[in-house]
Amino acid sequence: MLFITYRKECDLAQHYHLRGRFWIESPQGTFLGQGRVLLLERVQELGSISAAARSMKMSYRQAWGLISQMNSHSPEPLVLSSTGGQGGGGAQLTHVGKRAIQLYHEVLIDFEAFLSQRAQTLKL
Amino acid sequence: MLFITYRKECDLAQHYHLRGRFWIESPQGTFLGQGRVLLLERVQELGSISAAARSMKMSYRQAWGLISQMNSHSPEPLVLSSTGGQGGGGAQLTHVGKRAIQLYHEVLIDFEAFLSQRAQTLKL
């Protein structure tokens, strides 16, 4: 008696998705990622680093550290803060800061298009 | 007196990279990601879930949980284990398990090609 085992290639594309994350790195390390861009957006919206930090349940110190890193990894600062210090002073995005948010979203659109297109041909 | 401020668009492409991660999701959650694929590779290499777990400084329980999830999110299991239990029994990859590793690396190649190509046009 002959048994023929027949294995149909399984097409995952119907039910499986590709998901992912990306970030932009400078030679010194991470420059822009999802969390940093959200922080920039909150600074733009709230006009203050401490308010932005609070809205993200992040310490002022941590937010300031991230902003200071972004500023130093860029040819021009992304955020300018006046007087500064916890609670006091305001902060605003520079032209480069606003453009960084836009750039991130431009790459995000292409990134999601890639994942969604590539997911159409997942076969196990 | 007239000052003209001229801002040259800053071309990040020379010095900045795009980096990222991706994973394959089934409707029930994560199916395959970097860590899971490494675990499958170690099972294939070492012939045992507990040895694979040890090599990744992961508990047997955690490794078994991941493998059990992958098996249940797939139309056919990726790993078959004989007898099983901590220390005892062997494990081996099925055809689907081997194919899953291959699929992940195929997507990885395309993913990295996308990131590297997209990074060529990063402008602040």
Q: Convert the pLDDT of each residue in B21-76 to its tens digit.
A: 999 999 889 999 999 999 999 999 999 999 999 999 999 999 999 999 999 999 89
A98 touches chain B (CB under 8 A): no
**Local confidence band at A87 (pLDDT 50, 70, 90 cut-offs):** low
B106 touches chain A (CB under 8 A): no
Please state, in angstroms and rounded to a whole number, the distance separating the CA atoms of residues A87 and A84. Answer: 8
Site of tokens 């007196």 = B1
Question: Does the pLDDT of residue B80 top 80, yes or no?
Answer: yes
**Local confidence band at A48 (pLDDT 50, 70, 90 cut-offs):** very high
**What is the nearest CA distance from A57 to chain B, expressed in angstroms?**
25
Longest Cα–Cα distance of chain A, Å, equals: 87
- Is the Cβ–Cβ distance between A111 and A20 less than 8 Å? yes
Residue contact B25–A18, C-beta within 8 A: yes
Question: Does the pLDDT of residue A46 top 50, yes or no?
Answer: yes
Please state, in angstroms and rounded to a whole number, the distance separating the CA atoms of residues B86 and B83. Answer: 10
Residue contact A18–B24, C-beta within 8 A: yes
Task: For A108, name the nearest residue in chain B, comparing CA atoms only.
Answer: B118
Q: Which tokens belong to A16? A: 């499986």
Quick one: pLDDT at residue B6? 47
User: Which of B20, B26, B123 faces A23 most closely, judged by CB atoms?
Assistant: B20
Residue A103: alpha-carbon gap to chain centroid? 10
User: Which of B15, B20, B26 faces A21 most closely, judged by CB atoms?
Assistant: B20
- Is the Cβ–Cβ distance between A37 and A111 less than 8 Å? no
Site of tokens 């284990």 = B81
Phi-psi category of residue B18: left, alpha or beta, with phi > 0 → left and psi -120 to 50 → alpha: beta
**Which of B8, B24, B30 has the highest number of chain A CBs within 10 A, making it the mutation to test binding with A?**
B24
Please state, in angstroms and rounded to a whole number, the distance separating the CA atoms of residues B21 and A23. Answer: 9
**Which of B21, B22, B110 has the highest number of chain A CBs within 10 A, making it the mutation to test binding with A?**
B22
> Sign (positive/negative) of CA torsion B67, B93, A122, B19?
positive
Q: Say whether domain A23-121 belongs to CATH 1.10.10.10.
A: yes
ipTM above 0.85 for this complex: no
Question: Does the pLDDT of residue B83 top 80, yes or no?
Answer: no
Which secondary structure element, helix H or strand E, spans residue B93, and what is its range? Answer: strand B91-93
List of chain B residues whose C-beta atoms are within 8 Å of the C-beta of residue A100: 124
B77 touches chain A (CB under 8 A): no
Return the domain boundaries, chain B.
28-121
Q: Which residues partner with A20 through β-bridges?
A: B22
Fold of B28-121: Arc Repressor Mutant, subunit A (1.10.10)
List of chain B residues whose C-beta atoms are within 8 Å of the C-beta of residue A111: 20, 114, 118
User: Which of B7, B103, B115 faces A122 most closely, judged by CB atoms?
Assistant: B103
A25 touches chain B (CB under 8 A): yes
B29 touches chain A (CB under 8 A): no
> Sign (positive/negative) of CA torsion B66, B69, B73, B77?
positive
Angle between helices A60-72 and A34-46 in degrees, nearest 10: 110
Q: Which residues partner with A80 through β-bridges?
A: A92
Question: Does the pLDDT of residue B11 top 50, yes or no?
Answer: yes
